[in-house]
């Protein structure tokens, strides 16, 4: 016999009343009937839950009983004929209302099969109270090349947890890339599983609208295959990319989308090409003012733009918060190719300081008063570009190092799917666009204009007035 007894557990205090549940004797037929009813209930629930299997099975069964094999075969042929003519007649609605919903069901089933191991190996399965708790796979919405999977996170998880293991998930599910974004509710995360690549093909130059929409300039195609529209109103745009990444195509796509306004005088493009006119020179007639040789002239142009921004800000103060362009006071877009030549590599210290001061004013005051900057640069380091944070819209094309991605696009953007360092050299013009305040980077391919197309556009819409300080057509600088 033990000397001391130790018993773990909570002691139940004595209660004034002790109730014993009564034992009721049930006849066997009643118990059997109850189990049968319960079984039928479960069967009905399962049949209703998997209606997309049970429904067609019932219809096929009914037809077979009524007409033999002819019934189901006739139905399959009729459905195929209807789908084929719908597809031929209106492809978009067929895909949206018939094909993608069915595909979504199939993919949901596929992803469910791989879900447990995928969550476990990505460390998204949580161990709690001796159980394994998995995020819940809610639904799959398919579109061209992308499956958007809605996932209910386990308590305590955040979308960032999924973003951090996006690459692992992509390999597990056998897709090109995975992007995680916050869902419509705080407990949901949306995983975009990229299958094909709608951006693999070069995007041809887009039509030029007679009146540009400054809130939505069509400049290329986005990952889901739709047109990508870039906002210019209220922002400044920075383009960063390694050599040959396609910075020129971003600039010319933007110029093309504004060309209608250039022709009508609603938009003035001012061009600075410190690399001697290599990039912008070919379309020089598009620019109202253009400089490519003399750095003092370039500094002067930036100062003019800054002075114009300050003048407009003074006029508009207290009246409106957004300048509306008119032919008398047009939208000015200062386009700078290789900004580092002006902010970092310039040896004339005085000139460099003048440029930095004017750019600072322009970037902070210009965006609300219709004086915008679209600048391209190769090296995103702060020493090279001190004003990085003053560009609310940033475009990261192919970059040479992983660390540069967050440097260009902002903290955590690489984890959220902006894999600029993984863009292959074979995809020039592909990049990620990040808008201030928007947590999701958008993968885009900008349209590509050949030299001849740029020349044609410049001939149709061009209105060059001042080139390197010299006045053409009698207009003043």
Please state the residue numbers annotated as binding site for ATP: 241-248
Instruction: Tell whether residue 245 is a contact of ligand ATP (CB under 6 A).
Output: yes
Determine the Cα–Cα distance for residues 356 and 207; give it in Å rounded to an integer.
36
Q: Taking phi first (over 0 means left), then psi (-120 to 50 degrees means alpha), and beta for anything else, what does residue 22 get?
A: beta
Least separation in angstroms between CB 180 and ligand ATP? 27
Q: Which residues of 35-70 are buried (b: 16+ CB within 10 A; e: fewer)?
A: eeeeeeeeeeeeeeeeeeeeeeeeeeeebeeeeeee
Q: Cβ distance 75 to 64 under 8 Å?
A: no
Sheet of strand 188-194, all strands in order from the earlier edge strand to the far edge: 136-143, 146-152, 188-194, 177-182
**Closer residue to ligand ATP in complex, CB, 288/378:** 378
Which residues within the stretch 390-449 sit at the binding site for ligand ATP (CB under 6 A)?
A: 428-429, 446, 448
**Closer residue to ligand ATP in complex, CB, 304/341:** 341
Least separation in angstroms between CB 453 and ligand ATP? 12
Determine the Cα–Cα distance for residues 378 and 240; give it in Å rounded to an integer.
6
With CA atoms as reference, report the closest residue to 288 among 255, 319, 245, 314.
255
Determine the Cα–Cα distance for residues 260 and 382; give it in Å rounded to an integer.
36
Least separation in angstroms between CB 245 and ligand ATP? 4
String of contacts with ligand ATP for each residue 113-152, x by CB under 6 A:
----------------------------------------
Q: Cβ distance 369 to 342 under 8 Å?
A: no
**Closer residue to ligand ATP in complex, CB, 165/240:** 240
Determine the Cα–Cα distance for residues 255 and 268; give it in Å rounded to an integer.
10
Least separation in angstroms between CB 428 and ligand ATP? 3
Bridge partners of 47?
A: none
**Closer residue to ligand ATP in complex, CB, 119/208:** 208
**Closer residue to ligand ATP in complex, CB, 251/302:** 251
Determine the Cα–Cα distance for residues 293 and 281; give it in Å rounded to an integer.
11
Least separation in angstroms between CB 377 and ligand ATP? 9
Can you read off the two tokens belonging to residue 137?
């796979």
Least separation in angstroms between CB 390 and ligand ATP? 22
Instruction: Tell whether residue 101 is a contact of ligand ATP (CB under 6 A).
Output: no
Single residue of 145, 183, 212, 241 touching ligand ATP by CB under 6 A:
241
Least separation in angstroms between CB 203 and ligand ATP? 6
SS (H, E, C) 219-278: EEEECCCCEEEECCCCCCEEEECCCCCCHHHHHHHHHHHHHHHHHHCCEEEEEECCCCCC
Determine the Cα–Cα distance for residues 285 and 282; give it in Å rounded to an integer.
8
Q: Taking phi first (over 0 means left), then psi (-120 to 50 degrees means alpha), and beta for anything else, what does residue 412 get?
A: left
**Closer residue to ligand ATP in complex, CB, 253/304:** 253
From the list 108-116, 245-253, 348-356, 414-422, the region that binds ligand ATP by CB under 6 A is 245-253
Residues contacting ligand ATP: total by CB under 6 A: 15
**Closer residue to ligand ATP in complex, CB, 280/358:** 280
**Closer residue to ligand ATP in complex, CB, 282/346:** 282
Number of H helices, E strands in the chain: 13, 18
From the list 100-108, 183-191, 223-231, 237-245, the region that binds ligand ATP by CB under 6 A is 237-245
Q: Cβ distance 114 to 173 under 8 Å?
A: yes
**Closer residue to ligand ATP in complex, CB, 304/378:** 378
Binding residues, by number, are 241-248
String of contacts with ligand ATP for each residue 322-361, x by CB under 6 A:
----------------------------------------
Which residues within the stretch 354-393 sit at the binding site for ligand ATP (CB under 6 A)?
A: 378
From the list 204-212, 243-251, 303-311, 363-371, the region that binds ligand ATP by CB under 6 A is 243-251
Instruction: Say what angle helices 100-121 and 166-173 make with each other, to 10 degrees.
Output: 120
Neighbours of 251 (CB within 10 A): 26
Determine the Cα–Cα distance for residues 287 and 333; give it in Å rounded to an integer.
9
**Closer residue to ligand ATP in complex, CB, 190/339:** 339
| Residue 376 DSSP SS3 | strand
Q: Cβ distance 307 to 365 under 8 Å?
A: no
Least separation in angstroms between CB 280 and ligand ATP? 11
Instruction: Say what angle helices 295-316 and 349-365 make with each other, to 10 degrees.
Output: 30
Neighbours of 27 (CB within 10 A): 8
Least separation in angstroms between CB 448 and ligand ATP? 3
Least separation in angstroms between CB 336 and ligand ATP? 13
Which residues within the stretch 195-234 sit at the binding site for ligand ATP (CB under 6 A)?
A: 202
Single residue of 248, 380, 417, 462 touching ligand ATP by CB under 6 A:
248
Give the footprint of ligand ATP on this chain (CB under 6 A): 202, 241, 243-249, 279, 378, 428-429, 446, 448
């Amino acid at each position: 016999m033990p000397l001391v007894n130790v018993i773990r557990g909570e002691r139940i205090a004595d209660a004034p009343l002790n109730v014993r549940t009564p034992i009721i004797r049930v006849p066997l037929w009643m118990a059997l009937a109850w189990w049968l009813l319960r079984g039928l209930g479960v069967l009905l629930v399962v049949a209703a839950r998997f209606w997309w299997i049970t429904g067609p099975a019932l219809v096929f069964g009914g037809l077979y009983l009524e007409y033999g094999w002819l019934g189901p075969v006739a139905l399959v042929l009729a459905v195929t004929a209807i789908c084929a003519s719908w597809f031929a007649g209106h492809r978009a609605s067929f895909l949206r209302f018939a094909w993608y919903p069915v595909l979504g069901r199939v993919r949901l089933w596929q992803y469910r099969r791989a879900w447990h191991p995928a969550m476990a190996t990505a460390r998204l399965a949580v161990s709690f109270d001796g159980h394994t708790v998995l995020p819940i796979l809610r639904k799959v919405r398919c579109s061209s090349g992308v499956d958007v999977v809605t996932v209910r996170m386990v308590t305590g998880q955040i979308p960032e947890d999924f973003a951090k293991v996006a690459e692992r998930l992509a390999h597990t599910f056998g897709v090109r890339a995975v992007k995680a974004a916050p869902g419509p509710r705080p407990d949901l995360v949306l995983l975009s599983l990229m299958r094909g690549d709608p951006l693999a093909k070069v995007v041809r130059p887009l039509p030029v609208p007679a009146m540009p929409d400054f809130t939505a300039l069509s400049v290329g195609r986005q990952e889901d295959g739709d047109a990508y529209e870039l906002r210019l109103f209220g922002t400044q745009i920075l383009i960063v990319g390694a050599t040959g990444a396609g910075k020129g195509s971003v600039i010319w796509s933007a110029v093309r989308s504004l060309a209608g306004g250039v022709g009508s005088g609603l938009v003035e493009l001012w061009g600075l090409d410190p690399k001697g006119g290599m990039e912008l020179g070919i379309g020089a007639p598009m620019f109202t003012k253009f400089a490519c040789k003399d750095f003092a002239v370039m500094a002067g142009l930036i100062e003019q733009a800054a002075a114009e921004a300050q003048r407009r800000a003074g006029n508009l103060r207290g009246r409106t918060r957004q300048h509306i362009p008119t032919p008398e006071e047009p939208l000015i877009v200062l386009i700078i190719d290789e900004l580092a030549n002006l902010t970092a590599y310039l040896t004339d210290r005085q000139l460099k300081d003048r440029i930095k001061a004017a750019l600072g004013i322009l970037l902070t005051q210009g965006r609300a008063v219709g004086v915008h900057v679209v600048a391209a640069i190769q090296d995103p380091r702060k020493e090279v570009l001190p004003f990085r944070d003053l560009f609310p819209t940033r475009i990261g094309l192919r970059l040479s190092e992983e660390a540069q991605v967050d440097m260009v696009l902002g903290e955590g953007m690489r984890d959220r799917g902006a894999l600029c360092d993984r863009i292959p050299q074979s995809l020039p013009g592909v990049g990620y666009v990040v808008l201030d305040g928007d947590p999701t980077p958008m993968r885009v391919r900008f349209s590509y204009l050949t030299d001849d197309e740029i020349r044609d556009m410049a001939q149709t819409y061009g209105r060059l007035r001042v080139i390197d300080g010299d006045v053409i057509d009698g207009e003043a600088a």
